[in-house]
């Protein structure tokens, strides 16, 4: 009986002992380089909020500037209801909001106010919208997430955290483009994002 037990133990341990003498293959020998690289976790983004904000700003600029250009000159005085702003005033509001929020977020001086008015030409108002996006792009280029809790100027003389101002800017851009798209649709014009992508 004892011999039988010893024989069984030997049968189990000998292959293990033989395997232990073999050199342990390195991970590179076991897996092809591509598989090894694929399993390496990517480095976390050190500035997730400001990087997303830059992408949102870029996307909205590519839609909102063309939206300002699409509306015919004679429709810049259009308003859906008597209580709503004209399309001209909407473009003024977009330019002023962009400049104010991007100035607070970046801590840089906003462009000098041009004293825009609803009666200004379409060319002047489109130029103001373009200029505001150019300023925001430049101002936001060096913003990072290191001081998100720092207080920055907000509407009405209030203060808000830098993170909060970024969230408000992203929200305002979406809200303002939605308004532009609605005004265009009510005048039979397809907004920039309304056309299906062509292959």
Confidence grade of residue 195 (pLDDT, cut at 50, 70, 90): confident
> What percent of the chain lies above the pLDDT cut of 70?
77
pLDDT of residue 43: 87
Summarised one tens digit per residue, pLDDT across range 37-65 is: 455 568 889 999 999 999 999 999 999 99
Fill in the DSSP letter of residue 81: S
Cα dihedral angle (59, 62, 64, 68), rounded to 10 degrees? Answer: 180
Both tokens assigned to 192: 């920039």
Q: Please, which contacts does 153-162 make with residues 24 or more away whose CB atoms are closer than 8 Å?
A: 153/100, 153/103, 153/104, 154/104, 155/100, 160/104, 162/104, 162/105
pLDDT of residue 120: 97
Summarised one tens digit per residue, pLDDT across range 78-128 is: 999 999 999 999 999 999 999 999 999 999 999 886 799 999 999 999 999
Average pLDDT score over residue span 126-138: 97
Cα 183 from Cα 76, distance rounded (Å):
10
pLDDT of residue 12: 38
pLDDT of residue 138: 97
pLDDT of residue 31: 47
Strand 151-153 and strand 159-161: pairing?
A: antiparallel
Which region holds residue 115: left if phi is over 0, alpha if psi is between -120 and 50, else beta? left
> Cα-flanking dihedrals φ and ψ of residue 78, to 5°?
-70, 140
Instruction: Please give the model's pTM, rounded to 2 decimal places.
Output: 0.77
Candidates 1.20.120.450, 2.130.10.10, 1.10.630.10, 1.25.40.10; CATH matching 48-191: 1.20.120.450
Summarised one tens digit per residue, pLDDT across range 16-30 is: 344 444 444 444 444
3-state percent helix, strand, coil for the chain, nearest multiple of 5? 65, 5, 35
- 121 by DSSP, 3-state: which? coil
């Amino acid at each position: 009986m004892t011999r039988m037990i010893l024989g069984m133990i030997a049968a189990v341990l000998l292959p293990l002992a033989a395997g232990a003498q073999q050199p342990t293959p390195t991970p590179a020998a076991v897996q092809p380089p591509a598989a090894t690289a694929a399993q390496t976790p990517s480095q976390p983004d050190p500035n997730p909020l400001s990087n997303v904000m830059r992408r949102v700003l870029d996307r909205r600029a590519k839609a909102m500037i063309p939206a300002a250009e699409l509306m015919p000159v004679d429709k810049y005085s259009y308003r859906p209801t008597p209580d709503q702003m004209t399309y001209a005033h909407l473009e003024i509001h977009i330019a002023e909001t962009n400049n104010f929020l991007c100035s607070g977020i970046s801590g840089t001086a906003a462009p000098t106010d041009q004293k825009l008015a609803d009666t200004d030409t379409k060319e002047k108002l489109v130029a103001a919208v373009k200029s505001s996006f150019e300023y925001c792009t430049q101002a936001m280029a060096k913003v990072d997430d290191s001081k998100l809790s720092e207080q920055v100027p907000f509407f009405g003389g209030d203060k808000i955290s830098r993170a909060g101002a970024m969230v408000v800017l992203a929200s305002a851009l979406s809200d303002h483009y939605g308004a532009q798209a609605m005004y265009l649709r009510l005048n039979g014009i397809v907004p920039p994002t309304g056309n299906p992508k062509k292959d």
